[in-house]
């Protein structure tokens, strides 16, 4: 029977199947971080059991770490204790940790791919919903809760019902100034923040094929923002070029075998999908969100919807969102003054993002009233940016290049947007209070964010590009 790529990877990881029970699914790689793992280790202690396959779990500290002076002890007490707890747990249970100060440290979904820990055909989980990022390599990768983190530590498996699979095809040529972030914000704005719930998504089509790995990761990263558990893209030459010669990528015979294996990782031509959606790249313009969930987005060249475009029973939630954001239905966002720009997070903090921003701001200066933070996704991204001289370009433009971590994406550390202030952010969520209590978030691409920093307001980046 013809199979989708998702079917093939899933079926190859089923350890046991029993009618009336979920599948026991084998997990190849498990990532952990300081926030969602302590209670899982505590659970192991209570059960008095070890980590089943400690070599297949890798740890880093990212959610809660400061992004300045990382060489000094963490000032905030609870954050420091949580990071210390991770170190203690990794030592006790024999898990490799890339903690603060380690050359591999960084946001978990940035370091996995850049270290070659994320490889095509794998199953990957982490106690973080943006684990879907790794799907860009042709993996089944999804976020899990802490009880499931404990389950994977204890057994290297997860009990899971196989979800249905949806194909999202994007074809055509992207307009200038439109990035993969705009593609995914466009898709989510069309299908809504629950439009993918229950599904696993395969992204396909020539537009997707022509994207770099970094750009593909941005798309898969935000699968969860339409409710999907994960999203994946079939591996190809772009994937192979990216993973080759990375720190933990196999070499010699093992590499040749991996290449053979990758050849088999394609959906069959006549494979059945439970749902298929199609989009034209030409229809996608630079996007921005105006509300308090990622589905509330629009092209910058268009306006916030008015009430006539919203089902009546959603009017209350819609109005509440706009009140929170201090915006009006039916109005354009173009020209709206902003206070902060945050370029970072597991969505857009990779070297390609930093290069794009640096290229755009070179010779320009940020608007005086804007604070612009760039938080690289990892130590390696930071080192690379410095080696390429991006740091001085960014500094001359008035941007502050900080040290790696999740930072203002979820504002668990001290990088918070103050109450009432507007931030154009390359992160993934615009929920109320996400970037700090009463902060207001506009999600956008790195180019749109850079343009906003320079102009001091929301602008259509195409105005800058000939």
Q: Which residues, numbered 212-231, are part of the site for another protein (CB under 8 A)?
A: 224, 227, 229
Nearby residues of 425 by Cβ (< 8 Å), 6 or more positions away = 340, 341, 342, 345, 408, 409, 435, 441, 442, 443, 444, 449
CB of 116 to another protein, least distance (A): 11
Q: Binding residue for another protein (CB under 8 A) from 2, 16, 91, 245?
A: 16
Residue 293 lies near another protein (rule: CB under 8 A): yes
Q: Does 314 bind another protein (CB under 8 A)?
A: yes
- Tokens standing for residue 252: 């010699």
Indicate whether 415 belongs to the interface with another protein (CB under 8 A): no
Q: What is d(CA 279, CA 44) in angstroms, rounded to the nearest whole number?
A: 46
177 or 295, CB closer to another protein?
Answer: 295
- Does the protein bind another protein through residue 155 (CB under 8 A)? yes
Residue 148 as a binder of another protein (CB under 8 A): the answer is yes
Token pair belonging to 266? 């394609």
Among 110, 141, 412, 449, binds another protein (CB under 8 A): 412
Q: How far is the CB of 197 from another protein (least distance, A)?
A: 6
Question: Between the CA atoms of 406, 435, 370 and 337, what dihedral angle is there, to the nearest 10 degrees?
Answer: 140
Q: Are 226 and 191 in contact (CB under 8 A)?
A: yes
Q: Tell me the window of 100-108, 159-167, 179-187, 331-339 that interacts with another protein (CB under 8 A).
A: 159-167
CB of 9 to another protein, least distance (A): 11
Q: Per CB under 8 A, does 259 bind another protein?
A: no
- Residue 193 as a binder of another protein (CB under 8 A): the answer is yes
Query: Tokens 């690289």 belong to which residue?
Result: 376
**417 lines the binding site for another protein (CB under 8 A):** no
Interface residue with another protein among 3, 26, 212, 238 (CB under 8 A) is: 26
CB 449 within 8 A of CB 424: yes
Q: Which is nearer to another protein, 398 or 433 (CB)?
A: 433
**Burial class, 121, CB count within 10 angstroms (exposed 0-12 / middle 13-18 / buried 19+):** buried
Close Cβ partners of 6 (under 8 Å, ≥ 6 residues apart): 140, 165, 200, 202, 232, 267
State the Cα–Cα distance between residues 166 and 246, nearest whole angstrom. 31
Q: Closest separation between CB of residue 42 and another protein, Å?
A: 7
Site residues for another protein, 434-463, by CB under 8 A, read 434, 437-438
Nearer to another protein, 118 or 378 (CB): 118
Distance in Å, CB of 286 to another protein, minimum: 24
Interhelix angle 351-361/446-455, rounded to 10 degrees, is 30
Least Å distance, CB 174 to another protein, is 28
Tokens coding 219: 């798309």
Minimal CA–CA distance to 51: which of 156, 147, 124? 156
Query: CB of residue 351 vs another protein: minimum separation in angstroms?
Result: 25
Rule CB under 8 A: which of 36-95 touch another protein?
Answer: 36, 38-39, 42, 47, 49, 52, 63-64, 78-79, 81-82, 85
């Amino acid at each position: 029977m013809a199979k989708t790529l998702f079917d093939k990877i899933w079926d190859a990881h089923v350890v046991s199947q029993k009618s009336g029970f979920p599948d026991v699914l084998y997990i190849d790689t498990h990532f952990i971080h300081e926030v969602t793992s302590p209670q899982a280790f505590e659970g192991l202690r209570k059960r008095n059991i070890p980590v089943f396959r400690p070599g297949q779990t890798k740890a880093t500290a990212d959610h809660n770490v400061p992004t300045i002076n990382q060489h000094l002890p963490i000032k905030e007490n609870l954050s420091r204790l949580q990071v210390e707890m991770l170190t203690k747990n990794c030592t006790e249970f024999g898990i490799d940790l890339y903690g603060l100060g380690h050359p591999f440290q960084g946001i978990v979904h940035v370091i996995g791919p850049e270290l070659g820990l994320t490889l095509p055909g794998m199953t990957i989980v982490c106690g973080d919903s943006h684990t879907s990022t790794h799907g860009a390599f042709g993996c089944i990768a999804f976020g899990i809760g802490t009880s499931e983190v404990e389950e994977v530590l204890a057994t290297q498996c997860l009990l899971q019902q196989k979800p249905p699979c949806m194909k999202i095809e994007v074809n055509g040529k992207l307009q200038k100034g439109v990035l993969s972030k705009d593609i995914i914000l466009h898709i989510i704005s069309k299908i809504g923040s629950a439009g993918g719930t229950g599904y696993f998504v395969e992204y396909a089509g020539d537009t997707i094929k022509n994207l770099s790995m970094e750009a593909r990761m941005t798309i898969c990263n935000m699968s969860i923002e339409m409710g999907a558990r994960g999203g994946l893209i079939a591996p190809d030459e772009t994937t192979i070029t990216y993973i080759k010669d990375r720190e933990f990528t196999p070499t010699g015979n093992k590499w040749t075998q991996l290449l053979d294996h990758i050849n088999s990782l394609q959906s069959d031509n006549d494979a059945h999908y439970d749902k298929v959606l199609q989009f034209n790249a030409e229809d996608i313009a630079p996007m921005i969100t105006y509300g308090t969930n990622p589905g509330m987005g629009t092209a910058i060249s268009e306006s916030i919807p008015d009430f006539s475009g919203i089902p009546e029973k959603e009017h209350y939630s819609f109005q509440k969102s706009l009140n929170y954001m201090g915006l009006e239905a039916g109005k354009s966002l173009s020209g709206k003054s902003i206070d902060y720009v945050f370029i970072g997070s597991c969505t857009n903090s990779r070297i390609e993002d930093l290069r794009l921003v640096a290229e755009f701001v070179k010779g320009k200066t940020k608007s005086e009233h804007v604070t612009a933070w760039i938080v690289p996704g990892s130590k390696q991204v930071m080192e690379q940016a410095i080696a390429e001289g991006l740091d001085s370009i960014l500094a001359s433009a008035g941007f502050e290049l900080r040290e790696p971590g999740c930072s203002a994406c979820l504002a668990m550390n001290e990088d918070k947007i103050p109450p009432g202030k507007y931030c154009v952010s390359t992160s993934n969520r615009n929920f109320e209070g996400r970037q700090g209590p009463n902060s207001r978030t506009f999600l956008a691409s790195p180019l749109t964010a850079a343009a906003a920093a320079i102009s001091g307001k929301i602008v259509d980046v195409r105005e800058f590009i000939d």
